[in-house]
Structure 1
Amino acid sequence: MNEFLKKGVIVLLGGIIQGLGMGLFLFPQSIPSGGAGGMAILFNHFFKLPMGPALWIVNFSLLLFGIMYLGKRFAVWTVFGMTITSLSIHFFEVYLIIPERNLLFDLIIGSVTLGIGVGLLMRQGVSNGGVGVLAYMLAFKRNILPGKPLFFFNCLIFFITAAVISWKIIFLALISQWMSTRIVDIIYSYPSYEVYTLDWRNKKA
């Protein structure tokens, strides 16, 4: 039970920190936080789906794909993490306003904060949703750090989205992904605390 509660607290913290980076720093500057948003934009462009339902379809489809390989517990924890992140994004967007914004500051702080949140989630065997499901699956299967596949998947979608929609934000998105995924790998591989794996057995990082 103590292990369960500890994992719950860390997932809660990871979701809040991820939501802080996205809702307070990246989204106000129109910087995409990941590939799921890019895929949602493509759904909206080709099928005229509203962004909200399009993003839900992307996240839900990838989560179902992840359940086939990583199990139901992975899905339950991922849904919990995604919910906390979404609620946090809404809170920070609505209730915390930065009167004078600076693009470079928002880009750096938002990317670092995003990376910390995602790294905490992935250390607990939890995806941050969207393309993070695929990245975690590949990292889990090949026993590699998740930052590299996460960066690859997100950048691939960014390039496709930019080619179809607009190239205006591609450079900011790539810089943000490079910084945040480096932080993810640092947090994921840091050896000072225990990781709770998908089967809830403990192992040292």
Structure 2
Amino acid sequence: MRNIFIITIGSILVGFAYNFLLIPHEILSSGLSGIAIMLGLVTPFNTGILNFLLNLPLLIIGVMKLGKRFIGYTILSVLVLSVSLYVIPVYQVTHEPLLASLFGGVITGIGIGIIFKASGSSGGFDIIAMLLNKKRDFPLGAMISAMNAIVVVISGFVFSWDAALYTLVAIYATGKVIDTIHTNHIKLTLMIITGKGDEVKEKLLANLYRGVTIMDGEGAYTGEGRKVLITVITRYQLSEVKEMITEVDPNAFVNITETKEVIGMFHRG
């Protein structure tokens, strides 16, 4: 319930940033939401409806290909954001487009950052990049940056190059705030010692797109058998993983260490 509440608040915050700051000045956000904003400005359709329709096929694919809990939280975020964009009126808070792009980007970054902290995402390019990354081991951040560059170029051709530059400012501000709140690039290694190894393994594999290595262990003091599970995750998944482990075995011993580098097939999302 805590994560659901946080994701809901974060998504509403993003909706306010779009309708109060970005949309009135024809400034696009990062990701698929930016394309939804553009289409909402040049067509009679509401941005919220467009945001939902653009994300819908990706969410359907994500349910089949990505972790169930992650995609469940992402679906919640997309729904709340889409409803927020539909319900919240478009209102020009400031007449200065530079201020709108800067503060709109910052508020959007805060909203998306706390969504990430709650183990979700705002959908769109995040899902596209993660799906592509499953097929090809490319850096996730580089792919998202490339797709955001396309949004900036589209903004220049559809509106003006001033609008494209303001869009770039908003995207940059959003990215910097997200990096401050949510350090996605940090990898963590988890060593989980539990008497319910099979149950913990099944829980992780069903809800998390990560590999798990299992070894047999024995308590030095008790002599009782234990399972030792080792997995590497990204920082934003830690809250989700801790919840899953606690649900299965509240007495599990978990050692969490920061990982400097991972060599081999590691999904970077």
TM-score with structure 1 length normalisation? 0.72
1:81 maps to: 77
Question: CA deviation digits over 1:70-96, x for unaligned, max 9?
Answer: 1333332212112222333344425x6
- Consecutive unaligned residues of structure 1, counting only runs of 5 or more, are none
1:156 maps to: 150
2:209 maps to: none
Higher-Rg structure is 2
| Higher RCO (C-alpha 8 Å, min separation 6) | 1
Q: Give me the whole-angstrom Cα distance separating, in 2, the residues matched to 1:139 and 1:124.
A: 22
Counterpart of 1:70, as a letter, is L
Cα distance change on mapping 1:63 and 1:27 into 2, 3 Å: same
Cα distance change on mapping 1:79 and 1:197 into 2, 3 Å: same
Counterpart of 1:174, as a letter, is L
Q: Are the counterparts in 2 of residues 127 and 136 from structure 1 also a CA contact under 8 Å?
A: no
Given the alignment of the two structures, is residue 64 of structure 1 paired with residue 60 of structure 2, yes or no? yes
Q: Give me the whole-angstrom Cα distance separating, in 1, the residues matched to 2:17 and 2:141.
A: 17
Question: Percent identity over the alignment?
Answer: 23
Q: Are the counterparts in 2 of residues 67 and 74 from structure 1 also a CA contact under 8 Å?
A: no
Aligned ranges for residues 1-205 of structure 1 at < 5 Å?
Answer: 5-37=1-33, 39=35, 55-93=51-89, 98=93, 100-135=94-129, 149-160=143-154, 162-163=156-157, 165-168=158-161, 169-189=163-183, 195-197=238-240, 200-201=243-244
Q: Are the counterparts in 2 of residues 125 and 196 from structure 1 also a CA contact under 8 Å?
A: yes
Greater per-residue strand proportion? 2
Q: Are the counterparts in 1 of residues 26 and 159 from structure 2 also a CA contact under 8 Å?
A: no
Give the C-alpha shift of residue 150 in structure 1.
3.3
Q: Give me the whole-angstrom Cα distance separating, in 2, the residues matched to 1:147 and 1:120.
A: 18
Greater per-residue helix proportion? 1
Q: Give me the whole-angstrom Cα distance separating, in 2, the residues matched to 1:198 and 1:155.
A: 33
- How many pairs does the alignment contain? 195
Give the C-alpha shift of residue 136 in structure 1.
5.5
